[in-house]
Amino acid sequence: MRIADYRVTRAILERHGFTFKKALGQNFLTDANILQKIADTAELDRNVNVIEIGPGIGALTEFLAEKAAEVMAFEIDDRLVPILADSLCDFSNVKIINEDILKADLPARIKEFANPNLPIKVVANLPYYITTPILMHLIESKIPFADFVVMMQKEVADRISAEPNTKAYGSLSIAVQYYMTAKVVFTVPRTVFIPSPNVDSAILKMTRREQPLVMVKDEDFFFRISKAAFVHRRKTLWNNLTSHFGKSEETKAKLAESLKKAGVQPSVRGETLSLADFASLADALKEAGL
């Protein structure tokens, strides 16, 4: 029987006297079919290493270890470390790291893989309260992760994968899609977790692009402009940019000239602009000295 079997999960929790910490966003999946689909989506084999974040009691880890070369699982809750050692005792290719993934020295940890040169995929059921910081931390790191197959709140998955001219599209869509392709693979109902979260979940697959989707002169400035464009979603691009840069006559003249040069109408909203539009606009604003 699988760790994810409801009765097995319950038995493990009771045997170890484990109680959930709401602050850590702990929701354990009890559906082996869904876990199998996650592992299948990740397309693992013995020539791939995996990093998992928040393994819980090891329900997903079990499926990953059966396919991958090695699994390195980062678990912040030290109460779960002995439980994982017990539930995953049959797997010699699993290493549990009792660290916060945001504070871990990942380049050093990756060297601990038996073969650190294998492609690395991130496969995880991410804690909902900190999904975005974890994703951006990993994506913006210099580590060339091949794929991400991650479960998260459905609303966040929809935002990451959103296209322009949709309600979900925003600065998070741009920040991720600049580096990665992103696609919602399937949704997961809240009823298959212990305890049940208040929202439905989705599995998002992201694959790193060989090069960023658009080329810009200053990446930090590009992301700054895309964030500024969505500060007040219902306001026009012009209003958001003047709020960000200021409303002096000199500034407004530079903004107007930059928008014209980028071929962007001041009256549109940020959600109508593609990544290419934002790239052109950011470069024009940078050239104008803003």
For the chain, the distance separating the N- and C-terminal CA atoms, rounded to the nearest angstrom, is: 61
Nearest to 258 by CA among 285, 240, 282: 285
Contacts of 254 (CB under 8 A, 6+ apart): 285, 288, 289, 290
Torsion of CA 20, 22, 25, 31, to 10 degrees: 40
Residue 125 in marked binding region: yes
Omega before residue 107 within 30° of 0, cis: no
Residue 27 in marked binding region: yes
CA atoms within 13 A of residue 48's CA, in its CB half-sphere: 22
Residue 165 in marked binding region: no
Torsion of CA 252, 253, 258, 263, to 10 degrees: 90
Which residues is 139 bridged to in the sheet? none
Q: CA 201 to CA 65: how far, in whole Å?
A: 23
Residue 75 in marked binding region: yes
Residue 66 in marked binding region: no
Which residues is 167 bridged to in the sheet? none
Tokens coding 212: 């960023």
Token pair 């797997």: residue: 91
194 three-class SS = strand
Annotated binding site for S-adenosyl-L-methionine: which residue ranges? Answer: 27, 29, 54, 75, 100, 125
Annotated binding site: which residue ranges? Answer: 27, 29, 54, 75, 100, 125
